[in-house]
Amino acid sequence: MSGWKYSFERLSKHEYVACIIHPKKVVCICGQKIKLNRKWEEDYLNRHIQRSGCKADKGQRTIYNWFKPIEVKPVKQVEEEEEEYDSDVYDNMDDDDLIRVDEVNENDQNQEILAINIEETSDNTRNTKKQKLICMGLQSEEISKYIKRTPAQFGGSRRIEVVARELFPNLFSQKFSRKKLNSKQKRQLNHALFAESIWQIDRPSNAVRAKACTGIAERGNICTECSYIRYNQALCNKIARPLPLSSNIKFTPKHYWEDNPLKRCLKNCDLRDIWNILNNESENQQENPWIALADKALKGAFKDKPIFTGLCEVMGDAIERKMKNKSKRNLKYSDEFTSFLTILGGISSRALDLFRQNLEGRTIQSIRQLRRNDDDYLTNPELCYENVARVKRLIDTVNYNGPICAMTDNTKLKPRLRYSPNLGCIIGSTLSNEETTVNIYNDIPKIINNVKSENGIAKNVRAYILQIPLSKFPPIVIALLPNKGADTADLILQLHKRLILEIAPQLSLHILSLGSDGAITEYQAQQLIVNIQTSEKLTVIEPQLKINFSCPIFNYIGPIIRVQDPKHAKKTARNAIMSGARLLTFGNSSARYDHFLQLINQNSSILYKNDVIKLDRQDDAAAYRTFCSSNFRQCLTTDYQVKIGMEGFAVYIFIIGKISRIFICH
């Protein structure tokens, strides 16, 4: 009968109901909207009729009476009930939260426990006039402990995993996960959990009520429905359980605390400030730095600091795992924080270790593993089509269609042989990869003996690099060729031809320049490229300035010129003065070694003594300091006039520094 009493059919037949908006709001025939105390209950409507505010008995009719009632289909009724269900249950929840239910286990049903002890008031038990009283629910000290212990809203239903698999069998074939559910599916699951639940937890009243509690007690201080669940075995077992230790709270899933009212209230800036002030131990105590940091973070102060945000996420995850005695394996790192650690490890591995000792981050081994797994990782050291295609892919990604700079250099290599698991061969020799491929373990001594017999241990490595001539674009290595340091101009020429004549035209790469240092073999290889006969040439002739410039124009590529790398140009220009092999003259003045000695003896000198005395001729930093503007300023007086005897040296410093700066910036 309770289903008929609180139903749509019964309320729609009420003589004063003109229209039902939803189960808890109707329109009286006088035209006023009445909010009901519960679904389909006409108590508040009857009170409205008995008051003077209702004009139904005075002949005033609402406009709804001039229209025929529309039959409400069962489907629409279900939708209205679901909408009202959302408004009732979701008052303190987000749209995508799930109801927290105290599930029933098999052990709870098998045990036999007496009825729950509750507190009864004498006022309600002496109800001689048979008035309707307010139901207080089940209240006792044991029930208070139960409410304090559980974060659930309802209880008595099956486990959420079981109900979810019945509703969505295709979605949870193996393991249940809340992340797989969308908002609509979560509402359906909440509706099923609510339907199966037996009791609900009323935290404001510190009581446990029956789900069907009417709120009205005719005899005693609890209603019939709440009195019935006193003998529920599952509820008795839940209440009889002891409180868990405070140290075990950390094992409670985080989603149980998502609807914490304090968490929602602290979103208000003023309430958050009051909360921070109340949590200080004294008025003179300074503000907690963690609270201040969290406050700034909530206000969006770190939105443009993704590296710091990634560090905070990693630190929080690492501390949480430490509290649970778990290892730090498989920590999640953001892409920005990983890039920061990669750059830091490239600068100095010791700096990366120092960073990890005080904070958290990837190890150098992890960074190397990421590089090996990267699609742009160099898997073939030879100058091949695949390596150049990686550069083309980068260019297409950034929508760049401009010129490309090619550079080559030969640098020292520590003589050593070792096995490369990525290449599957022994590297560090001048032999090809096919000759040093290791198929079985017994191949290793044979290959090593072959390398030694042919004196094939590499002492140098030639790097071939492509770069976009724009800022913030790093150079990309496309070939690493080991050698003995005796490369001829013909060998370097073959590399240039393979790139310019074979690979670049297929990928439509516009190579503009070939850069190198001052090595004579590389200079000769550049000269041979410029002397190649092509159908078109770019020529600039200026007889008055004695300029006669020409460069070849290759098909699908464009003109190619030869240049020297600015860093190498600075080192070459610096070493030309330091060596003293030739005297650099400029008119009636010259640039000499003693000019550097004069500069380092000045108090405001930008140069170090080791830049001039016992110098390192390959020091890029010393070459930068030599041709920087601060060093040029040392050659001038306070009136910005060149000092006597340093005219040629000042001109040399200015020209070399300006040329290299123009090449880098423009």
pLDDT digits (tens, 9 = 90+) for 423-434: 788 888 988 888
pLDDT at 504: 92
Instruction: Please indicate whether residue 491 or residue 175 has the higher confidence score (pLDDT).
Output: 491
Distance between CA atoms of residues 556 and 500, nearest Å: 10
- Considering only residues 130 and 230, tell me which one the structure prediction assigns the higher pLDDT: 230
**63-87 tens-digit pLDDT:** 555 554 544 444 344 444 444 444 4
Mean pLDDT of 51-61: 67
More confident residue, 136 or 53: 136
Q: Which stretch of 54-58, 211-215, 352-356 has the lowest confidence by average pLDDT?
A: 54-58
Closest Cα partner for 80 from 45, 118, 40, 41? 40
Pair 198, 156: CB distance under 8 Å: yes
pLDDT (tens digit per residue) in 508-532: 899 998 888 767 888 889 889 888 8
Averaged pLDDT for residues 606-630: 85
How many CB atoms within 10 Å of residue 549? Answer: 10
Residue 357, CA distances (Å) to 338, 354, 572 in order: 17, 5, 41
Q: How confident is the model at residue 146 (pLDDT cuts 50, 70, 90)?
A: confident
Q: What is the mean pLDDT of residues 312-335?
A: 88
Query: Mean pLDDT, to the nearest integer, of 361-371?
Result: 85
Q: Are 636 and 618 in contact (CB under 8 A)?
A: no
> What is the secondary structure of 383-425 as a DSSP string?
--HHHHHHHHHHHHHTT--SEEEEEEEEEE-----EEETTTTE
pLDDT level of residue 135 (50, 70, 90 thresholds) = confident
- 255: pLDDT strictly greater than 70: no
Q: Is the pLDDT of residue 229 over 50?
A: yes
Is the predicted pLDDT of residue 94 greater than 70, yes or no?
no
Pick from 522, 510, 506: nearest CA to 553: 510
Determine the pLDDT at residue 375.
64
- What pLDDT is attached to residue 500? 92
Residues 6 or more apart whose Cβ sits within 8 Å of residue 391 = 404, 466, 476, 478, 509
Question: Which of 39-48, 57-66, 366-375, 559-568 bottoms out in mean pLDDT, i.e. has the lowest?
Answer: 57-66
pLDDT for the residue 74: 44
* pLDDT at position 108 over 90: no
* Tokens standing for residue 114: 């007496």
Give the mean model confidence (pLDDT) for residues 243-263. Answer: 63
Q: Which residue has the tokens 């430490």?
A: 322
Q: Are strands 154-155 and 101-102 parallel, antiparallel or unpaired?
A: parallel
CA distance 480 to 173: 51
- How confident is the prediction for the chain on average, in pLDDT? 80
Segment 232-261 shows an average pLDDT of 71
Would you say residue 256 has pLDDT above 80?
no
Q: Pick the residue with more confidence: 244 or 127?
A: 244
Lowest mean pLDDT among 139-143, 219-223, 595-599: 219-223
CA torsion, points 390, 391, 394, 399, in degrees to nearest 10?
A: -130
Question: Lowest-pLDDT range, 173-182, 494-503, 554-563?
Answer: 173-182
Of 580, 601, 577, 582, nearest in space to 650 by CA: 577
pLDDT at 260: 58
Instruction: Name the pTM for this structure.
Output: 0.44
Other CB atoms within a 10 A radius of the CB of residue 536 amount to 11
* Residue 585 pLDDT class (50, 70, 90 cuts): confident
Q: What 8-state DSSP symbol labels residue 217?
A: E
Cα dihedral 156, 162, 163, 164 sign:
positive
- Residue 62 and residue 18 in contact, taking contact as beta carbons nearer than 8 Å: yes
Cα torsion angle, 566, 571, 576, 577, sign: positive
Instruction: Please tell me the least confidently modeled range out of 96-100, 292-296, 342-346.
Output: 96-100
